[in-house]
A and B are shown apart, each in its own frame.
Chain A
Amino acid sequence: MNYFVDESGYYGDFGGAYIPEMLYPNVETLRQRYLEIINAPDFKKELDDLLRDYVGRPSPLYLATRLSEHYKTNIYLKREDLNHTGSHKINNTLGQILLAKRLNKTRIIAETGAGQHGVATATVCALMGLKCVVYMGKIDMERQAVNVQRMRMLGAEVIPALSGSQTLKDATNEALRDWINNPVDTHYIIGSVVGPHPYPDMVARFQSIISKEIRSQLEEKTGRSTPDYVLACVGGGSNAAGAFYHFLDDENVKLIAAEAAGKGVETGLSAATCALGKPGVLHGSKIIVIQTEDGQIVEPYSISAGLDYPGIGPFHSNLYKTGRAKFISITDEQALKAGYRLTLTEGIIPALESAHALAVLDTMKFKPSDVLVINLSGRGDKDLETYFKNEVKI
């Protein structure tokens, strides 16, 4: 089975480039040039150097001893939370800004949900001296106020998305509209494995460093390069794509994706795409998306702004359809509890997004001999207020 993108930009039935003609030249240029650019030796060297010296890679693979004892299995945490800017998002923004420079673009736009991708984009724009505009849902700007201030401090202009549910979906619409209106000088740094081809593949490639490192780090620590399980949360799906990437063809490695059930799958306040969605077209590709019978996209809900998205990218839509990855819905409550558990057993406050992946530990049985890798995609600093408001006793 092939889980990677094919020549026409599809992952099985999913993917493609469903874009208005106004975006065609930009997306087509990217499609024609992205592989040649990112595989060039000078590009690789520049990116590798920055990932090492600026981001702090490789990120540690940490054996969480007390958490392992609690769940009676072997849990390794891939510490993407320790990256510069506090999440995995910088792996992609660095790659894309180097690409944008080679395409002679002078202005960068991005969408953001939790603000992590926005911060990572504003950061690399400051680093490279490029103009940066970030679209963010108005509701997300309120619940992630500190990240808004961080972006502004980094020199970015943050524009509120006022349409629809005023969250990630609407910020993405606004960013796409900006790109339509500014096709020549602007590069759109999409933060997840969504959007028209080649974005899902390009972002997955930049994030695949996560699983590449996991393989070698695990081998060094345990003598085996493949774990029994890899667990990650999925909104659009970039950190999960990165964590799964180099294990896709090892069919003995079970891939577990945690999606946000919000208040519960059946409550109407949920972002559990696989549980509630069906194939459709949103933001430039055919994906699994939550929608009405009439094809209107349903406003999602999750306590975690980064998972508050009504679809999963084509890469994950295909993993779901083929059964290669198992998708588990995690409620706000389960995520909060898992976040507090990690905080109290390991002294690590996870991002609410990553807490969804940790919560899978409470919903599945693992053997004492199993080796699990959980992608700790981000740190919880941005979510402290939500944690304080929703304290869970462990």
Chain B
Amino acid sequence: MDNRINTLFRNKKNEVLSVYFTAGFPKLDDTLKILRSLQWAGVDMVEIGIPFSDPVADGPVIQESNKKALDNGMTLKNLFSQLEDFRKNIKIPVVLMGYFNTIFQFGVESFCRQCAETGIDGVIIPDLPAGEFISKYKPLFDRNNIKNIFMITPQTSDERIKMFDSVSDGFLYVVSSSKTTGTNLISDDFSKRYFEKIKKIKLSNPTMVGFGIHDKESFEIASKYANGAIIGSAYIKAIAETKTFRNTTTEFIYKIRPKAN
């Protein structure tokens, strides 16, 4: 079943820009302000991070934003209540990204229902293995039209990439290098060979490159091989101290992808 993610990639094949931020950071109630300013700046898709005490796939910047968000009192319940009416203003696809334990404690079924009710389009759960997802949870996600986004890394075999492609209907998250978030290694030959390899597989799903995308150059390299890219740590750094999300966000986004005329 189509949702906003499918529509986005049907209408836009290149230089799709997705931005990640952590819910509850820098302040507890910043979620909607940040969402609105990202949409205003022309971002195509947003990923909202559900903070977790032990984010093993994340580097120092996102770890710190998770910690701060939790100290601010952010919870998944709280996030859903902040998002209750967000679809009145926000039209771009929104994906939730979080570690499995917070979703497991919330109840996977209630989580999927709440996502559907509030208007969330997809989820990225880095530590929920594909096998577990397919055997236990896929029907719940499908019933609520929530796309589960799988990650691909340089070590993922071709067979496994094809398997992810066959069970996906949203996009595939191409992790730029085998690193935690916030490391900058995208422009080396190794990454390029890996991106080329993925391009040759001719996947049926769109691809978005993430991890290490932090400026215009890395965004453009990623966009050459994939449909677009995802920015996380660099944006978190940019908004850490700001008071005016709209100005900071616009300035940050235009530096990466200048405004189309």
Which A residues have a C-beta under 8 Å from some C-beta of B? Answer: 16-22, 24-26, 163-164, 169, 173, 176-177, 180-184, 280-284, 291, 293-297
Q: Mind listing 29 A-B residue pairs with CB under 8 Å?
A: A18-B127, A20-B56, A20-B151, A22-B151, A22-B153, A22-B175, A24-B160, A25-B157, A163-B63, A164-B53, A164-B54, A177-B180, A180-B56, A180-B57, A181-B178, A181-B179, A181-B183, A184-B178, A281-B100, A281-B101, A282-B54, A283-B54, A293-B105, A294-B75, A294-B76, A294-B77, A295-B106, A296-B52, A296-B53
Chain B contact surface mostly: loop
Given A20-B151, A25-B156, A164-B54: A295 and B104 interface contact (C-beta under 8 Å): yes
- Complex Cα spacing A21 to B105, Å: 22
- Residues on B lying within 8 angstroms of A by beta carbon are 52-54, 56-57, 59, 63, 67, 70, 75-77, 99-106, 126-129, 132, 150-153, 155-157, 160, 175, 178-180, 183
B104 touching A21, Cβ below 8 Å:
no
CA distance A296 to B69 in the complex (A): 12
In the complex, what residues of A have CB within 8 A of residue B129's CB?
16-19, 24
Residues of B within 8 A of A293 (CB): 105
Q: B106 to A173, Cβ gap below 8 A? A: no
- The minimal Cβ–Cβ distance linking A380 to chain B, given in whole angstroms, is 31
Which residue of A22, A176, A281, A293 has the most chain B CB atoms within 10 A of its CB atom?
A22
Given the interface contacts A280-B105, A282-B101, A296-B70, does A173 sit within 8 Å of B178 by beta carbon?
no
* Pairwise interchain contact B179-A180, C-beta atoms closer than 8 A: yes
Minimum CB–CB distance for B242 against chain A, Å: 24
Asked if A22 contacts B155 (CB within 8 A), the reply is: yes
Chain A, residue nearest B98 (CB): A295
Instruction: Kindly identify which residue among B56, B101, B103 contacts A291, using a CB–CB cutoff of 8 Å.
Output: B101
Q: What residues of A have a CB within 8 angstroms of the CB of B105 in the complex?
A: 280, 291, 293-295
Out of A21, A24, A180, A281, which one reaches B180, CB within 8 Å?
A: A180
Known: A164-B67, A282-B54. 10 other contacts (CB 8 A): A20-B127, A21-B175, A22-B151, A24-B155, A164-B54, A173-B54, A180-B178, A294-B75, A295-B52, A297-B53
Instruction: Give A22's nearest chain B residue, CB to CB.
Output: B153
Q: Tell me the bound Cα distance from A183 to B190 in angstroms.
A: 14
B209 to chain A, nearest CB (A): 14
A113 smallest CB distance to B (angstroms): 15
In the complex, A53 Cα to B99 Cα: how many Å? 45
B76 with A20: CB separation less than 8 A: no
Q: Which 6 A-B pairs have the closest CB atoms?
A: A295-B105, A295-B102, A294-B75, A25-B155, A21-B151, A20-B57
State A330–B82 Cα separation when bound (angstroms).
43
